[in-house]
């Protein structure tokens, strides 16, 4: 790799639609076309929002293959290939490369709680697949946090490490990373996209973009253009809906939103369950404010 891949702008953490327990590829294809038509600059299948923990390895592989084929090179595909088993993550990453993915998203190993050295060696092993790597720091899901020093060490030592999805919820973390190395920083929280970009970030891997891709792209374009007034206006406009996407565990609210809009079935895999009835009226109200036609 002579030059590191640029990963920036408005990208979507794709949901995985289901129908009667199986992956609904017709719906997934429609979602991909909807994203590309509305300005999304990158597709991220098989992350947390894509319910990767309950996808079989065969399903995981096929969703990535399908997304790469459907995208057809129009936008980059960053395949979720993380696992708390390094050997499993390496197999998934190698498959993503073979399938034609442009990069991979690698979450910190969860549950077994490795040390900073363990996280470093985990990523170093995955670099053997020779596919650009986007690190993923989300301690709320994994129980561990990769330190800015480890991020900088990985970026400086391994040419395949190109970016980090920063979802610690701490602006100081993004600032520390930006001050310690030149890695591309992407927001992992929709409500923090503008603040993170204000301290050195370059875009977002967005949950909200599943339902409002053009609106998230508008925010990212304003940031890229250094139009702070427009960016702040769009941030505040989107903020209530950003928060609504997490009234229950992600991807429960975003799947409910897409189902309300008639784009997918409101189907998740246990242990996740559909959005509770008490949360639905407010979510529907917020979606209507953005012109989403509620069909259920």
Q: What is the DSSP string of the chain?
A: --SPPP--EEEEE----EETTEE-HHHHHHHHHHHHHTT--EEE-SSTTTTGGGS-HHHHHHHHHHHHHHHTTSS-BEEE---SSHHHHHHHHHHHHHHT-SEEEEEPPPSS---HHHHHHHHHHHGGG---EEEEE-HHHHS----HHHHHHHHHH-TTEEEEEE-SS-HHHHHHHHHH---EEEESSGGGHHHHHHTT--EEEESGGGT-HHHHHHHHHHHHTT-HHHHHHHHHHHHHHHHHTTSSSTTHHHHHHHHHTTSS-----TT--PPPGGGHHHHHHHHHHTT-----
If pLDDT is split at 50, 70 and 90, which confidence band does 296 have?
A: low
Which residue from 223, 216, 232, 219 is spatially nearest to 200, judged by alpha carbons?
223
Over residues 3-22, mean pLDDT: 95
Catalytic residue flag (residue 136): yes
Give the model's pLDDT for residue 3. Answer: 82
Give the model's pLDDT for residue 295. Answer: 87
Measured CA to CA, the distance from residue 33 to residue 251 in angstroms comes to 20
153-208 per-position pLDDT tens digit: 999 999 999 999 999 999 999 999 999 999 999 999 999 999 999 999 999 999 99
Structural domains of the chain sorted by starting position, each given as residue range(s) with its CATH number in brackets: 9-228 (3.20.20.70)
Residue 117 CB-density burial (10 A; 0-12 exposed, 13-18 middle, 19+ buried): exposed
Select which of 136, 155, 160, 255 is catalytic: 136
Span of 56-60, 119-123, 233-237, 291-295 with lowest mean pLDDT: 291-295
Look at residue 1 and tell me whether its pLDDT is greater than 80: no
Produce one character per residue of 61-83: b if its CB has 16 or more CB atoms within 10 Å, e if not: bebbbbbbebbeeebbbbbbbbb
Are the C-beta atoms of 206 and 47 separated by less than 8 Å?
Answer: no
Per the DSSP assignment, residues forming a β-bridge with 138 are none
Tokens of 158: 């391994």
Say how far residue 276 (Cα) sits from the centre of its chain: 24
178: phi > 0 → left, psi -120 to 50 → alpha, else beta; which? alpha
């Amino acid at each position: 790799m002579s030059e590191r891949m640029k990963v920036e702008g408005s990208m979507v953490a794709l949901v995985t639609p289901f129908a009667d327990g199986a992956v609904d590829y017709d719906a997934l294809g429609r979602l991909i076309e909807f994203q590309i038509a509305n300005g999304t600059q990158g597709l991220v299948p098989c992350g947390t929002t894509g319910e990767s923990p309950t996808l079989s390895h065969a399903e995981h592989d096929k969703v990535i293959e399908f997304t790469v084929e459907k995208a057809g090179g129009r936008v980059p595909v960053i395949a979720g290939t993380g696992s708390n088993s390094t050997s499993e993550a390496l197999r998934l990453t190698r498959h993503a490369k073979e399938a034609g993915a442009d990069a991979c998203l690698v979450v910190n190993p969860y549950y077994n709680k490795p040390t900073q050295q363990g996280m470093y060696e985990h990523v170093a092993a995955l670099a053997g697949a020779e596919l650009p790597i986007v690190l993923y720091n989300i301690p709320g899901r994994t129980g561990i946090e990769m330190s800015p020093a480890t991020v900088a060490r990985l970026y400086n030592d391994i040419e395949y490490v190109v970016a980090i999805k920063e979802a610690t919820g701490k602006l100081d973390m993004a600032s520390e990373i930006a001050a310690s190395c030149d890695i591309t920083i992407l927001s992992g929280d929709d409500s923090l996209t503008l603040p993170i970009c204000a301290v050195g970030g370059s875009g977002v891997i967005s949950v909200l973009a599943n339902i409002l891709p053009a609106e998230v792209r508008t925010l990212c374009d304003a940031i890229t253009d250094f139009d702070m007034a427009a960016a702040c206006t769009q941030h505040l406009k989107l903020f209530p809906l950003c928060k609504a996407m997490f009234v229950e565990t992600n991807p429960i609210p975003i799947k409910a939103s897409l189902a309300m809009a008639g784009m997918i079935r409101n189907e998740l895999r246990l242990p996740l369950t559909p959005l509770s009835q008490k949360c639905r009226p407010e979510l529907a109200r917020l979606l209507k404010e953005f012109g989403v036609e509620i069909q259920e």
